[in-house]
Amino acid sequence: MPELPEVETIARGLDAQASGQRIAQARLVTPKVLLRGNPEALIGQRIDRVTRRAKLLMIMLGNDDALVFHLKMTGRVWLGDASQTLPKHTHLVLNLESGDQIIFEDQRRFGYFGVFNPAELAAWDFHARLGPEPLSMTPSDLAALLHGRKAGIKSLLLNQTVLAGIGNIYADESLFAARIHPASMAAAIPKKRLITLCAELQRILLAAIEAGGSTFSDYRNAYGKSGIFQEHFQVYGKKDEPCPACQRPLATTTVAGRTSTHCPHCQRRY
DNA sequence: GGGATTGTTTAAAT
DNA sequence: GATTTAAACAATCC
């Protein structure tokens, strides 16, 4: 469930604590979670900086290699000290010179990681096809990506090749904020409302980063701590609770194959 | 033990 | 070919 704000929070925390440190040891516990590359190549490398692209956590190394994680549903990457007991579903451990250790754990093992040199990263199709970062554009430019398309608005928001980093939480929250029903066809939504949607999406993403992300089950930041943005959810996970706007019960429907919580009364279906 | 969970890929359809 | 939709998949928990 880590989406853009959660991965951003992890990246910032790791960057602050691990950048400049050298990797002394790398231990691959579960070979299946290795997408490509060789963890041995990490040994001796210095961590230049830790950043994020879409939902990808990227640890940039001194030799220009990138150690890239996708956390999918239940993945966590965090920094423990030398005495840290490894959790049950630990798949990769990086021991730093300081004694700290970067731990990649993932209960369900949907997540993965890879080691890429710059050419390999450029050739990685998933990475190459990612759409623009929603926080790096104006609402109006963002809206232009959605305008006129026949697909459902929620399906477009979730499509990583259209714009990057949005998952079920922030799709539902921004659609509610803009009062748009998730099943609306994008082409039927007036451009002004699309711009409102994009502005709300940006506002919510920034607020969520500010709050350290959202935790309701598995997500933790780089120090193993929970975020608090879930306290600000208006609709996500709140089926049958009163709509914050009209007090009538929120409903769920399946859109683009995912549970979509919304207010049937407030959110207009275009 | 089966259903639910999610993001992504792949296949099929338009 | 481009775009959209549906189904499949990963693994685990309760």
pLDDT at A206: 92
How far is residue A2's CA from residue A209's CA, in Å, rounded to a whole number?
Answer: 12
Q: pLDDT tens digits for A130-173?
A: 889 999 999 999 999 999 888 889 989 998 889 888 888 889 89
Predicted pLDDT of residue A230? 65
Long-range contacts of A263-266 (CB under 8 A, 24+ apart): A263/A176, A263/A235, A264/A181, A266/A176, A266/A179
Cα–Cα dist A256/A85, whole Å: 40
Residue A121 CA, chain-centre distance (Å), reads 19
How many Å from the CA of A231 to C1' of C8? Answer: 34
Report d(CA A86, CA A109) in Å as an integer: 16
Strand B within 7 A of A55 CB: yes
Could you report the per-residue pLDDT of A193-227, keeping only the tens digit for each? 999 999 999 999 999 888 877 555 555 555 555 66
Asked whether residue A68, judged by its CB, lies under 7 Å from any atom of the DNA or RNA strand B, the reply is no
How many Å from the CA of A218 to C1' of B7? 15
Given a cut of 80, is residue A53 above it in pLDDT? yes
pLDDT confidence of residue A228: 65
Q: What average pLDDT does the segment A38-57 reach?
A: 93
Please calculate the CA angle A241-A242-A245 and round it to the nearest 5 degrees.
Answer: 140
The Cα angle at residue A219 between residues A217 and A225, in degrees rounded to 5: 105
When the pLDDT of each residue in chain A is averaged and rounded to a whole number, the result is 87
- Point out the residues of A that are catalytic: 2-3, 55, 258
Chain C nucleotides near the protein (CB, 7 A): 3-8, 10-13
Question: Strand pairing of A258-262 and A251-255?
Answer: antiparallel
The half-sphere exposure of A100 on its side-chain side, counting CA atoms within 13 A, is 16
For the CA of A9 and the C1' of B5, the distance in angstroms is: 23
How much is the pLDDT for A220?
58
pLDDT > 60? residue A96: yes
**Three-point CA angle A111, A115, A71, nearest 5°:** 20
Structure-token match 């914050």, residue found: A244
